[in-house]
Structure 1
C-alpha cells in the first residue's frame, strides 16, 4: 500500500494591508495605507538611516493627474531602541501603523503605487515584500 502525502510551503504573511482614503475637500484627500501586524511581528519605520534594516517606503506611480503634497506621515509614533546588530538606533511599529499621503487632484484618475516593507520578529526577518495598491479618484468624492 502506497500513501502519498502532499505538503505545500506556507508563506508567512504577518502584515495585512488595507487601502482607503479620507476626503479633505473637493480636490484634496489623504491616501491611507494601513498595516495590521500579527502579534510578535514588527515592520520598520520609513525613517531608518543608511546601513540599517530596510525601511518601509511608499512609491506612487508618476501621473500628471495629481500632485503629492508634503511627506508621507506615519502614525502612531514608532517604537525605538538601540540595535546592537546594526550598531544604531532603530525605529519600528508593532500591532498597527498607518501611512498617509496628502494628494491634490488636477483631474479624475486612478492612483497607483506600492509600499515596500520588511517584517521581523525578535528571531527572524522575512525578505522584503512589496504590496501594490490602486484607488480610483471617484472613491474620494463618494466619502
Structure 2
C-alpha cells in the first residue's frame, strides 16, 4: 500500500506544484507587461515566492510520504520527482517568457530558446539535491 501512496503523492503534489509555478509565471508576465521594466521589488518578491514554492511543495510531498509509512528513500524520491515536475513547467514556459519579454522591450521575437543538455543535467542534479534536503527536513519533522 505504501507504493500506491508514493505514486499518489508524486502525482498530487507534482500537479499542484506545476500549476502553482505556471500561475506564478503567468502572473509575473501579466504584471511585468504593463510597464517597460518591472520594479525591482516585484522581481524580488516573485523570486522569493518561486524559491518558497520550489522548497515547500517537495517538502510537503516528502512529509506526506513519510507519514504514510514510506521510508526515507521513498520520501526522497517523492520530493525529487515533485521538484522535477516544477522544473519541467519552468523549462516548458521559457519560450513564452522570452516572447513576452521581446514584445515588452520592443525587440524582435527570438527563436524558441532551448536549454542545452548540460543545463538540464544541472537542473536534474538540483532536483536531486532538493529532494535530499526536503526528505531530510521532513524526516526530522515527522
Which TM-score tier does this pair reach, normalised by the shorter chain? under 0.3
Where is the helix percentage greater, Structure 1 or Structure 2?
Answer: 2
Q: TM-score, normalised by structure 1?
A: 0.26
Greater RCO, CA 8 A, separation 6+: 2
Q: TM-score, normalised by structure 2?
A: 0.26
| Bigger Cα Rg | 1
